[in-house]
Structure 1
């Protein structure tokens, strides 16, 4: 059956539909028919062919493959009369179902499908500005140049696999898998809008991705050194808040004074600011994060400034009270790292610093809620980096030997390593 599917796919890529929408609609009332026959060529040898008529009245003759005339199991790529007839039945079944390549006529190109997917992502799904920026980049740089002018129904699984194999070697496996997922979304939307019989990306397997989780975080001493080296009181408060609450950079930029609940010792995360727009947090849910006394103290002092201290004002505003420039913040953060003499980590690693410290003292469910993770697996990665000095004592206790009376044998690693 694998040879049958491969054989059908080999000619279906060149099958160009000529039906209008009206003609296609009428053709559905017809019944496909056909038969197989063998032709013995002088040079090519015996070959099986199929002659059939589609529901719209068009007739075709197709070469199925070389005929197997010997005893035993047919060789790869060869057909007996039975398997040739099975090939034809598969074509007829696809024709009856309307899924035979070339029978669906959409009058839509892949560029049209990409535009519809982007519209749907932004207007109906409400994807964040960051997500939309990445999707537009994929469409502009990779999808439209490769498939833009082609009808959506003409793109096959084999086309997608060839396209992926030609992607630049400089792209990581993760990036290639991400683009494959996005292209799957383009055609999934096309299946719904233009009634494609199948999504050609669905059968393309993702590349094997060896992901090594290697978090880099700051120690408490390094966090305080970074805070002391900040260029302003506001930057110092922002760095400390990031490390002590785990808020993302966009969530810090979008934080308002009414979100800081000093009596309840909580910060409520309602929104995030990125790429010039306010959105909901990444998880899509409002969450509450503990407000440690150190953070409460620096925020209280920050609230004593002369401007921008109303309930609706931003806690960390720009010069005119508007949203902070993320790029400028990043530059000041790098300057503070250099001045403090600490290792150069991303701003986002302050969030990881919070996660690794909290997982050592709080249960994983609470840490998940504080950080706004969508699933527990994301939170579990911090377990491998949590500082737990007592674990070494537990290992030593597990390997401590005793005789029947409960007395130690007096064994030690140093004694065992001494030469005999």
Structure 2
């Protein structure tokens, strides 16, 4: 093995004078290699404007951060967190790197959270690649603007896991768990997109269960007696509308967009072989939604499952046939079956008020009009409809959704 020694000779250095004849000449004023700045704990390396913290752990090995930092303060904070874990006796080599998740390193250009989140909503498609529905976009924007105020004005590159935890605690303080959960969904979605756009390296929004927590309030499925009592208490001109909800399982937005041409009336022979009984089917192809900018707007259902042909029972067909034969129904096939013309309130408010008055007059425990949809789904299931048939009739795109609408009799 060749051993190299250096011997100073008249301001020069002679390299291994016994075995090497040539003389290497080096300036006496050699520039020293910059040393890494020492911190109170660990070491900060710096290269091209980025900081690389390292430290020697209790295991005697040198550990480095899994990412580099553009902000020196965040690099020091990472070191301090590691030091605190060591001092508390909580440090483990296998989990030490997880602490880095609390210090999201900036990577791209500055981006204010609220503006970025709202822009993401405008450019996000549905699972089918289509633009988000107007009502969905407005709801997402409302959640960002009203429930995520703790992150307004913040550069999303510097939002840490501690910030997310504090914001989640603030949302829970309002006591509306379902809304807090929906609002939280927009936070990891926004930061995940920032990771994809290489603005940040780590998504700090990772609270277990935050996206699935719910208030727990359930829609009450009314009994046959309660439904019959409320339907009898309704004004005759409105009874057929709620029959479509109770025995057809139509959504509010679907039943309020129905036109005369959507109803198929017919007859069938009864069990005695002589009596003709009325039949009715409803073609559901559109639904009405309310938008801040446009008011009530008719549109196609949210999914393909929403477009369907709904057969009604004989008793529902009787009510609908009588309604269409009366003076309250429009003659024009393209006209809406029910309107709130002449009323100073919106149709939704008129619908809610008429329903509330009927429930009160019937003297039964209150249940919402949406409970009629649960009632209808349970009736179809009790009549022997398979899960696939139930999905097709009620308009659910998944079996899980269809199961949620079934109740024990």
TM-score, normalised relative to structure 1: 0.67
Alignment pair present for 1:242 and 2:245: yes
State the Cα distance separating 1:61 from its structure 2 match. Answer: 7.9
Alignment pair present for 1:300 and 2:321: yes
> What's the C-alpha RMSD, in Å, of the aligned pairs?
3.6
Alignment pair present for 1:290 and 2:311: yes
State the Cα distance separating 1:254 from its structure 2 match. Answer: 0.9
* Map of 1:377 onto structure 2: 400
* Map of 2:389 onto structure 1: 366
1:153-164 aligned at under 5 Å gives the runs: 153-164=157-168
Matched position secondary structure for 1:262: strand
In structure 1, runs of 5+ residues without a counterpart are: 1-32, 40-46, 68-77, 388-420
* Map of 1:187 onto structure 2: 191
Distance 1:35 1:48 in 2: 16
Distance 1:282 1:241 in 2: 20
Bigger-Rg structure (1/2): 2
> CA distance change for structure 1 residues 61 and 284 in 2, over 3 Å: closer, same or farther?
closer
**Cα deviations across residues 255-297 of structure 1 (Å, max 9, x unaligned)?**
1222212248421211211212223324443122112222223
CA contact (8 A) 1:357 1:386 kept: no
> CA distance change for structure 1 residues 148 and 215 in 2, over 3 Å: closer, same or farther?
closer
Out of 300, 313, 325, which is 1:280 matched to? 300
Matched position secondary structure for 1:197: coil
> CA distance change for structure 1 residues 140 and 101 in 2, over 3 Å: closer, same or farther?
closer
State the Cα distance separating 1:342 from its structure 2 match. Answer: 2.0
TM-score, normalised relative to structure 2: 0.68
* Map of 1:200 onto structure 2: 204
Distance 1:59 1:282 in 2: 47
* Map of 1:140 onto structure 2: 145
* Map of 2:255 onto structure 1: 252
How many corresponding residue pairs?
324
Distance 2:34 2:59 in 1: 17
* Map of 1:117 onto structure 2: 120
1:8-407 aligned at under 5 Å gives the runs: 48-54=41-47, 56=48, 58=49, 60=51, 64=55, 79-82=58-61, 85-87=62-64, 90-91=66-67, 101-121=104-124, 125-143=130-148, 145-193=149-197, 195-201=199-205, 203-207=206-210, 209=213, 214-231=218-235, 233-263=236-266, 265-275=280-290, 276-285=296-305, 286-304=307-325, 305=327, 308-319=330-341, 325-362=347-384, 363-383=386-406, 385-387=407-409
CA contact (8 A) 1:34 1:53 kept: no
Distance 1:210 1:51 in 2: 45
> CA distance change for structure 1 residues 245 and 217 in 2, over 3 Å: closer, same or farther?
same
CA contact (8 A) 1:37 1:48 kept: no
**Cα deviations across residues 389-412 of structure 1 (Å, max 9, x unaligned)?**
xxxxxxxxxxxxxxxxxxxxxxxx
> CA distance change for structure 1 residues 245 and 59 in 2, over 3 Å: closer, same or farther?
closer
CA contact (8 A) 2:105 2:158 kept: yes
